[in-house]
Amino acid sequence: MPPTLGKASPPSEDKRWKIVAATMRRHGFSRNALIETLHTVQQSFGFLDRPSLEYVAQSLRVPLSKAFGVATFYHFFSLKPPGDHTCVICLGTACYIKGAPQLLAEVEQSLGIKQGETTADGHVSVLTARCVGSCSLAPVALFDSEVAPRLNAVEMRGRLARWMPS
């Protein structure tokens, strides 16, 4: 074992880094634990940024470019901080043929952003999902992880309005 094993220092004093370190320790600082660790970082901080990737890569002795390659390969990982609220439109097949594209157009239009973007005030992010597995309730969207079944444009606007500061 090289002497630097697990000795890379976290990017800040933030307590959440202890959770990240715990994940790495649980896996014996194995390189194979890269994805598991990135999951923990994203769960703790909401996204992955350069300093966190650098910290994880050094701790696990994974080349920097590999860590970046992995982080950008998987769409579950985000390199941008999410908005305060997240609206995920499901674009699974069942949702698609039951009107998901129209829902997406609606939300993009009413917020003035495209999928994958966050409003300028950092309030709402719009994302799309491949399939959330709630096909029998199609079309669905997730509002901060809560599934909204059999959604239509009117209800969609209502849901978004609830997030708007009064």
Partner 1 sequence: MTPEQLEQIASEETAARARNPRRLSVCMAAGCISSNSDAVKKALERAVAGGPLKDACPVTGVGCMGLCSRGPLVSTEPAGVLYQNVTPEDAGEIVGAVSGPAVERLQCSRELPFFKRQVGVVLENSGQINPERIEDYLAAKGYAALVQALTEMRPAEVIEQVSRSGLRGRGGAGYPTGLKWSTVAKARAETRYVICNADEGDPGAFMDRSVLESDPQRVLEGMIIAGYAVGASRGYIYVRAEYPLAIARLNTAIRQAKHLGLLGSQIGNTEFAFDIELRLGAGAFVCGEETALIASIEGGRGTPRPRPPYPAQAGLFGAPTLINNVETFANIPPIIRNGGDWYAAMGTQRSKGTKVFALTGKINCTGLIEVPMGMSLREIIFEVGGGVPEGRKFKAVQTGGPSGGCIPEQFLDMPVDYDSLAQAGSIMGSGGMIVMDDSSCMVDVAKYFMEFCMSESCGKCIPCRAGTAQMYDLLAKICEGRAALDDLAMLEDLCDMVKNTSLCGLGQSAPNPVLSTLRYFRDEYLAHIQEKKCPAGVCACGMKQEAGS
Partner 2 sequence: MTPAVSDVKTLQIDGIDVSAQADQTILDAAREKGLSIPTLCHLDGLGDVGACRLCLVEIKGTSKLLPACVTRVEEGMEVTTQSERLLKYRRMTLELLFAERNHVCSVCVANGHCDLQVLGQAHGLTHVQFPYRYPKLPMDASHDRFVVDHNRCVLCTRCVRVCDEVEGAHTWDVMSRGIGSMVITDLHQPWGESDTCTSCGKCVQVCPTGALFEKGKARLVAKSRDFLPYLAMMREGK
Q: Which is nearer to partner 1, 12 or 47 (CB)?
A: 47
Q: Does 21 bind partner 1 (CB under 8 A)?
A: no
Residue 132 near partner 1 by CB under 8 A: yes
Sequence-ordered list of residues with C-beta below 8 angstroms from that of 59, at least 6 positions apart, any chain: 6, 7, 8, 21, 24, 29, 37
Strand order in the sheet with 141-143: 124-129, 85-90, 141-143, 146-148
Question: Which CB, 19 or 123, lies closer to partner 1?
Answer: 19
Is 46 a binder of partner 2 (CB under 8 A)? no
Binds partner 1 (CB under 8 A): choice among 8, 19, 35, 153? 35
Part in contact with partner 2 (CB under 8 A); list of ranges 23-31, 46-54, 115-123, 124-132: 46-54
Rounded CA-CA distance 62/32 in Å is 9
Residue ranges that bind partner 2, judged by CB under 8 A: 50, 53-54, 63-69, 72-73
